[in-house]
Amino acid sequence: MKIDVLDKGYIEVVDKLGDDLTPVNAARVSFGGRSDTFEEKDRKLSKFLIKHKHFSPFRHQHVMFIIKAPEFVMRQWYKHVVGIETTSAHVTKDHAWNEISGRYVPYDEFYEPTEFRKQSEDNKQASDGLVEDQIKATMMWREAQTKTIETYKELLDMGMAKEQARSILPLTVYTKVWWTASFQSIMNFIELRDEKTSQVEIQEYAKVLKIIMLRTFPETTKLWSEIYFEDVSPNTK
């Protein structure tokens, strides 16, 4: 499963571990029970676990993704650690990141917005509405980014090490990441980023993740959404 995001990005599912029965069977191990098919009793137990924040069973469901996104999106993404063991020396770590390296390969793709937003007057980290002169904003933005990209290529052509030349690149540079995370971690990300005060671009990735999770773990995702999200369906444009 692969779904495009923004102008050149995407989220692709590489693999998954578990199904909708996984968390309820993990919970039932306490008294030696196990189900082979997902039935109403399993739906009730799953809902009980979610509602009362018994989240550890939902760390047995995992999804492995390839994410292609602008660097400024990934910088926000890396902050999400709920449902994740982040101590690198921990042998039971249930989360992994691996990212393409600009030391080995040159960067050649960059994000370009379709419109330019105004800074919100009552929220220091958010946007609200559009810049009045879209034509001028677009011209200035493109000129600045184009010059930087051209300089980067010229530095590479003159033999400068990629690890140094990359330091001038804008945060719009596309990076590619392999991300493996638990169901709980993924749903926490969606809850926080598919939200109107989040940056628009990362909201788009959260919306696509919700679509993917509804297809991958339909029963569990629907139950989780009913309890913690305002809207069960993906808030796509």
- With the C-alpha atoms ordered 22, 211, 206, 142, is the resulting torsion angle positive or negative? positive
| Residue 48, C-beta contacts closer than 8 angstroms, at least 6 positions apart | 54
Question: What's the rounded Cα separation, in Å, for the pair 1 and 10?
Answer: 10
Range scoring the smallest mean pLDDT among 57-66, 82-91, 195-204: 82-91
User: Mean pLDDT across the chain, nearest whole number?
Assistant: 90
Q: What tokens were used for 68? A: 């292609």
Whether CATH 3.30.1360.170 fits 2-105+174-228: yes
**For every residue of the chain, which 3-state class applies, written as one string?**
CEEEECCCEEEEEEEEECCCHHHHHHHHHHHCCCCCCCCHHHHHHHHHHHHCCCCHHHHCCEEEEEEEEEHHHHHHHCCCCCCCCCCCCCCCCCCEEEECCCCCCCCCCECCCCCCEEECCCCCCCEEEECCCHHHHHHHHHHHHHHHHHHHHHHHHCCCCHHHHHHHCCCCEEEEEEEEEEHHHHHHHHHHHCCCCCCHHHHHHHHHHHHHHHHHCHHHHHHHHHHHCCCCCCCCC
In the chain, what is the greatest distance between 2 CA atoms, to the nearest angstrom?
67
Query: For 125-140, what is the mean pLDDT?
Result: 93
**Enzyme catalytic residues:** 193
Q: Is 150 left (phi over 0), alpha (psi -120 to 50) or beta?
A: alpha
Per-residue model confidence (pLDDT) at position 88: 47
Q: For the chain, give every domain's residue range.
A: 2-105+174-228, 117-168
- The lowest-confidence range among 102-111, 119-128, 191-200 is 119-128
Give me the pLDDT at residue 120, please: 87
pLDDT tens by residue, 1-34: 999 999 999 999 999 999 999 999 999 987 777 8
Return the exposure string of 10-41: e unless at least 16 CB atoms fall within 10 Å of the residue's CB, then b: bbbbeebebebbbbbbbbbeeeeeeeeebeee
